[in-house]
Structure 1
Amino acid sequence: MNATVVTTGEVRDQLSKIAASFDAGKVEPVVFGSHRRPQAVIVPFSLWQRLVEQLEDEIDLELARKRLAKGGLRISHAEVLRRLAKTQSSEGESAE
């Protein structure tokens, strides 16, 4: 990724315009920092949400892989549903 780096002062002066460009559909991140050295990035909120969701999915996938590799007791989806229904049924009986 070859992003143009702008100065912190430029971002400060142009922040309203940057936000307006995001509202208009521009999704190109704005990279900025002192002396044009990359220090931070401003991204549209919708892009940030997608990135966070993708990261969370990757973390969940890695956790699932580790748990599968570890072995141990596995319960099918059908069995989980059966146990859940049984638990909910017994909780309903105790509430009466």
Structure 2
Amino acid sequence: MASLLSHPLTSREARESLGDTLQRFRTEGLTAEPVTFGAQRKPEAVMIPYEAFEAIAPLLEDLATAETARARIRAGGASPLSETAEALGLDPADFQ
């Protein structure tokens, strides 16, 4: 996998090879190498098989949630866990 990630295609090359890439993704599934591409070979985007996307989608959602939480904490908008538990009608002692 590292070889393709370290040698990105130009956007034009990626576009021109799209049919071949899709066929390879269909054939190889999760084991297919991703395709990295961007303007002037600068890595800007990655194509992966849809099966791989489905596998990592929950992780991407977790990362987005974590970033939102970090931003709220930095902004001072986060409340202590005990207050959140009480607001949900839970007893904080149950979680100790």
Match of 1:21 in 2: 24
Q: CA deviation at 1:57?
A: 4.5
Give 1:15's aligned amino acid. Answer: L
CA contact (8 A) 1:27 1:47 kept: no
Task: Tell me the amino acid that sits aligned with residue 9 of structure 1.
Answer: R
State whether structure 2 residue 8 is matched by structure 1 residue 5: yes
Q: Which runs of 4+ in 1 moved over 4 A?
A: none
Q: After the TM superposition, which residues 34-45 of structure 1 pair with which residues of structure 2 at under 5 Å, given as runs?
A: 34-45=39-50
TM-score with structure 2 setting the length: 0.59
Corresponding residue for residue 36 of structure 2: 31
What TM-score results when the alignment is normalised by the length of structure 1? Answer: 0.59
Instruction: Find the counterpart in structure 1 of residue 94 from structure 2.
Output: none
Partner secondary structure for residue 71 of structure 1: helix
Alpha carbons of 1:49 and 1:13: their partners in 2 closer, same or farther (altered >3 Å)?
A: same
For residue 15 of structure 2, give the secondary structure of its aligned residue in structure 1. Answer: helix
Which of structures 1 and 2 has the bigger CA Rg? Answer: 1
The SS at the match of 1:41 is strand
Percent identity between the two aligned chains: 25
Q: 2: CA distance between counterparts of 1:39 and 1:9?
A: 13
**Unaligned stretches of 5+ residues in structure 2:** 92-96
Per-residue deviation, residues 5-50 of structure 1 (Å, max 9, x unmatched): 0111111111000000000114221000111111111111111111
